[in-house]
Amino acid sequence: MTNYDEAILRSGRIDPAAPFPVLHQAVRIALHEQYAAQSFHGRVVEAFGPRPPFVGVVRAKERHIAALSALCQRFGIPRPLNPFPQETTVSPSWRANCERGVAGEIANIRLCEYLLTQVGEPDARRLLQGLQAASLEHHLPAFHQAVAEAMAQERYHAARGIPPQEAYVRHGPLSDFMERALAHAGPLGMFSPLLRHSHPAMLAGMVAGGAGIYLLKNRSGRNR
């Protein structure tokens, strides 16, 4: 089953010849776009775990959907059907999904800008402005940062002969933190030659193990 205004929703453009008011079309277009974004971010969380920025953005998209749904109820606008749970796929590459997140937020900013040129109703305009601000001020910078971090992590692993798809294997919170830190670290003095040729997971494990020994000794010292 498809939406009665499927062509309008997919195009993201108001159709002056359609038998629906402009506000009706604009709110449904915005809600349809939020459905798509929420489904994509949710699938990434399912595939890669609750990692930022996706886990935070998917919650934001859920709030946006609720706000637009309330606007639909207020103005008697039927909510569009959500086809995206069946349509959405994600890349096996973390970096590719982050890049898709960047593209999606840019598209949302542009969509809101366009819809604001069409809509005059004050409450609808405020909501569209809020959606645009969330993308511009919060989500887009977060995805830009995620892409930069992914590129740094892939370069770090590539220098050690590790393919990009293995650069995001999880080893636990502390080990993962150390891998990210090492990916961004510069020369490390006398240890640099050794670290440069070591497997990042091994380095992270060494640090995690050392931290555990330190904490154990420190606790033993306090108990004496």
Taking only the tens place, the pLDDT of each residue in 38-84 is: 999 999 999 999 999 999 999 999 999 999 999 999 999 999 999 99
Predicted model pTM: 0.77
pLDDT level of residue 218 (50, 70, 90 thresholds): low
Kindly state the average pLDDT of the residues 82-89: 96
Contact 97, 81 (CB under 8 A): no
Distances in Å between the Cα of 14 and the Cα atoms of 6, 77, 83, 175, 178 are 12, 15, 20, 50, 50
Distance CA 185, CA 20 (A): 57
Here the tokens at position 5 are 């205004």
Q: Is 8's pLDDT higher than 70?
A: yes
Distance CA 104, CA 91 (A): 14
Q: Is 193's pLDDT higher than 80?
A: no
At residue 162, the pLDDT reads 80
Distance, CA of 214 to chain centre: 36
Backbone Cα Rg of the chain: 23
Taking only the tens place, the pLDDT of each residue in 135-178 is: 999 999 999 999 999 999 888 888 888 876 676 665 444 445 44
* Number of C-beta neighbours around residue 24 at 10 A: 19
pLDDT level of residue 197 (50, 70, 90 thresholds): very low
Q: Which helix (H) or strand (E) holds 202?
A: helix 200-223
Of 61, 70, 7, nearest to 35 (Cα)?
61
Here the tokens at position 60 are 């934001």
Distance CA 104, CA 106 (A): 5
Kindly state the average pLDDT of the residues 173-190: 48
Here the tokens at position 48 are 């890669």
Q: Is 88's pLDDT higher than 90?
A: yes
Distance CA 62, CA 131 (A): 12
At residue 201, the pLDDT reads 53
Kindly state the average pLDDT of the residues 16-41: 98
* Number of C-beta neighbours around residue 175 at 10 A: 21
**Domains detected in the chain:** 6-158 (1.20.1260.10), 169-223 (no CATH)
Taking only the tens place, the pLDDT of each residue in 96-122 is: 999 999 999 999 999 999 999 999 999
Output the CA angle 75-118-35, nearest 5 degrees.
60
